Amino acid sequence: ALQKASDLEKAFATVALVYNNSADPKGKLSKAETKNLLQTQFGTESSGQENKPKYQEIISSLDEESENKIDFEDFMILLVSLSLMSDLLQEIRNVKTTK
């Protein structure tokens, strides 16, 4: 189904697939599972961000002892937030301007 998909559609499908492979049958992750998934799948981009207050706030919110689970929407918000804090966007801009 993704053979004719755009790069953006493929990227989104990859994120959804990674999330769904880790989620429970109801499509949710515990906060600990979310933190682990972000650190293992997005660790390269979040590396070096540990001293930023917003990064610490996001990660510490996942350490809270709570029965609350993260759904896909919340996961995407966390992923976008971490992406915006990382150097990923600047690196992409640098690649685009050097072509």
Contact call for residues 79 and 45 (beta carbons, < 8 A):
no
Distance CA 93, CA 56 (A): 25
Mean pLDDT of the chain: 80
Higher pLDDT, 65 or 4: 4
Nearest 5°: the CA angle 80, 81, 82 is 90
Q: What is the reported pLDDT for 42?
A: 78
- Owning domain of residue 83: 28-97
**Is 39 within a domain?**
yes
**Is 18 within a domain?**
no
Give the chain's domain count: 1
Q: What is the pLDDT of residues 60-81, one digit of tens each?
A: 777 666 677 889 998 998 888 8
**Is 68 within a domain?**
yes
Other Cβ atoms less than 10 A from the Cβ of 64: the count is 9
Q: Say if residue 45's pLDDT is above 70.
A: no
**Is 43 within a domain?**
yes
**Is 35 within a domain?**
yes
